[in-house]
Amino acid sequence: MRALLQRVSHASVTVDGTVIGQTGPGLLILICAMQDDTEAQADQLAAKILKLRIFKDENGKMNLSVRDIDGSALVVSQFTLAADTSRGNRPGFSAAASPEDGNRLYEYFAAQLATQGLPVETGEFGADMKVELLNDGPVTIWMEV
Number of domains in the chain: 1
Neighbours of 74 (CB within 10 A): 27
| pLDDT tens digits along 86-123 | 999 999 999 999 999 999 999 999 999 999 999 999 99
Q: Which of 6, 79, 109, 122 is catalytic?
A: 79
4 and 78 in contact (C-beta within 8 Å)?
yes
Q: Cα separations (Å) of 87 from 33, 78, 81, 90, 144?
A: 22, 21, 16, 8, 22
Average pLDDT of the chain to the nearest whole number: 97
Is 80 among the residues known to form the active site? yes
| 9 pLDDT tier (thresholds 50, 70, 90) | very high
Assign residue 118 the CATH number of its domain: 3.50.80.10
**How high is the pLDDT of residue 61?**
97
pLDDT computed for residue 132 by the predictor = 98
* Full domain range(s) for residue 129: 2-144
Query: Would residue 79 show up in a list of annotated catalytic residues for this protein?
Result: yes
From the list 46, 49, 36, the residue with the least C-alpha distance to 108 is 46
Active site annotation includes 78: yes
Say what the pTM is: 0.96
pLDDT at 34: 98
Radius of gyration of the chain (CA): 15
pLDDT of residue 45: 98
